[in-house]
Amino acid sequence: MDNTDISYGVAFVKRTGITALELGRGSARLLMPLAGNENHVGVMYMGAYTVLAEASAAIPGFSILDTERFFPILKDIAVSFHKSAASDVTAEFALDDKMIDALLSDLESKGSATYVAEIPMHDADGLKVATGTVTVKLLSYAWKGAAAGGLS
């Protein structure tokens, strides 16, 4: 995984200028820049939060996969807004070892595995400005019915 580009060739994501501050096996800490992502009154626009929440949730799952056999899809995403952010916004999420083992075990035995990531998002002063809740499903290419998922 390239630390400087986490857009996976998705132009929509690349346009936001999102960057990785730290990536590990099962973990990610990401930054959404304010520049280019302002709303009409100069604070972070809603859509930038959803991209940040999704990437923070999905990249840790992606990072534990044998990507020749498995792939992640998004089931749903929700973001609640607490305060406006007049700065860059950061988010992080990590799957713990026990969760990683359970996900990989489910993938082998059932062809799919699901986790829900809760993603607090903070401005440059450390204030929690929004909270994301993202359901990520991991699927096997080989498993029957894998194509039925809501790929987004």
Min CB(42)–a second copy separation in Å:
10
CB 84 within 8 A of CB 22: no
Rounded to 5 degrees, φ, ψ at 8 are: 50, 35
Whichever of 109 and 152 has its CB closer to a second copy, that residue is 152
Q: How far apart are CA 89 and CA 18, in angstroms?
A: 10
Interaction site with a second copy (CB under 8 A): 8-13, 15-16, 36-41, 43-51, 54, 73-84, 129-130, 150-152
Whichever of 21 and 151 has its CB closer to a second copy, that residue is 151
Min CB(115)–a second copy separation in Å:
16
Min CB(101)–a second copy separation in Å:
27
CB 105 within 8 A of CB 112: no
